[in-house]
């Protein structure tokens, strides 16, 4: 089949390489416009290395982009990490249509931050879906799904890079085989089970010290490494990363520093405490929590959230 890959970043790169390395005919790659800095998108760099033509447009729904895509005479479009709106004229142009990766078990967690929200909401299971996109938002028929467990200490980073990323690359290749073999299903999503969440923004994971230890911990790990769960210390915003949940009580009020250690500091919460190992103060770089604690003179009894 003549395949076009639309995507970006490391996931788009890995899907392209997996398809080319197994002998697929990838006739083009589409990725976002170059930024102002020297860094080149990884899908673009991989395409150049594999001698795959690269297309870049301001918006895929512009007429010139649609005409260019239709001129490729593609048999299948593979969408691997796409954030632009892809019009129906492109989705339907290939002989066999378009397939897309989404990191949740659709119809649950439609939307752009579908890895963050299951962790934040305390779920123990998620997965990935390869589906046939339509002009709705993550609403098209399902081709295949792969479930994964969310470990009690998984973060956004570990869930994606250790589980959903590698499994997703394999799933995209498997889906291409199914399309070629004529065995790819189109299972309509059950709208009664559908959920949608928007972007996970900093205000969504601001720490409320009145909530339970588990709820705060889920907010932190569900936003680690981005955007980071924020609290305040002496009027300055501080984001927490790389935390450890400790169920033992401290006798301190929620938000109070219970211990200052060589490997970080512990903050009391309802039901235990959180050992914080990495922070980002204000708009500065991330640093070891122990380094920041020493620089600010953090002591037992100091309080976050004020």
Element (DSSP H or E) covering residue 88: helix 88-91
- Spatial separation of the C-alpha atoms in residues 44 and 34, rounded to whole Å: 9
Domain boundaries, the chain: 2-193, 202-296
Is 2-193 a domain of CATH 3.40.50.170? yes
- pLDDT single digits (tens) 158-214: 999 999 999 999 999 999 999 999 999 999 999 999 999 999 999 999 999 999 999
Query: What is the model's pTM?
Result: 0.94
Would you state the CATH architecture of domain 202-296? Roll (3.10)
> From its phi and psi, is residue 143 left (phi > 0), alpha (psi between -120 and 50) or beta?
alpha
Identify the burial level of 122 via C-beta atoms within 10 angstroms of its C-beta, where 0-12 means exposed, 13-18 middle and 19 or more buried.
middle
Beta bridge partners of 102: 129
37 confidence band (pLDDT: 50, 70, 90): confident
DSSP string, 57-125: -S-TTSHHHHHHHHTT--SEEEEES--SPPPHHHHT-STT-EEEEESS-TTTTBSTTTTHHHHHTT-SE
Please say whether the dihedral angle defined by the alpha carbons of residues 243, 245, 249 and 255, taken in this order, is positive or negative: positive
């Amino acid at each position: 089949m003549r395949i076009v890959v639309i995507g970006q970043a490391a996931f788009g790169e890995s899907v392209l390489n997996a398809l080319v390395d197994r002998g697929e005919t990838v006739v083009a790659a589409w990725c976002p416009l170059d930024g102002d800095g020297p860094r080149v998108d990884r899908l673009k760099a991989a395409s150049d290395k594999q001698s795959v033509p690269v297309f870049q447009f301001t918006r895929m729904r512009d007429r010139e982009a649609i005409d260019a895509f239709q001129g490729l005479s593609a048999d299948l479009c593979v969408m691997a990490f796409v954030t632009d709106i892809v019009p129906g004229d492109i989705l339907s142009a290939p002989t066999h249509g378009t397939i897309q990766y989404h990191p949740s078990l659709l119809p649950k967690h439609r939307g752009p931050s579908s890895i963050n929200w299951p962790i934040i909401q305390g779920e123990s299971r998620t997965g990935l879906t390869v589906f046939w996109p339509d002009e709705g938002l993550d609403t098209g028929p399902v081709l295949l799904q792969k479930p994964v467990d969310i470990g009690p200490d998984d973060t956004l980073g570990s869930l994606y890079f250790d589980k959903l990323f590698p499994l997703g690359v394999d799933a995209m290749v498997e889906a291409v085989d199914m399309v070629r073999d004529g065995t790819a299903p189109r299972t309509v999503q059950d709208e009664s089970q559908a959920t949608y969440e928007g972007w996970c923004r900093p205000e969504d994971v601001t720490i409320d010290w009145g909530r339970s230890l588990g709820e705060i911990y889920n907010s932190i790990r569900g936003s680690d490494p981005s955007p980071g769960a924020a609290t305040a210390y002496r009027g300055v915003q501080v984001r927490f990363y790389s935390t450890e949940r400790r169920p033992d009580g401290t006798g301190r009020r929620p938000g109070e520093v219970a211990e200052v250690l060589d490997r970080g500091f512990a903050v009391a919460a309802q039901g235990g405490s959180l050992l914080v190992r990495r922070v980002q103060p204000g708009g500065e770089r991330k640093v070891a929590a122990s380094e920041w604690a020493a620089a600010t003179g953090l002591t037992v009894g100091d309080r976050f959230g004020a």
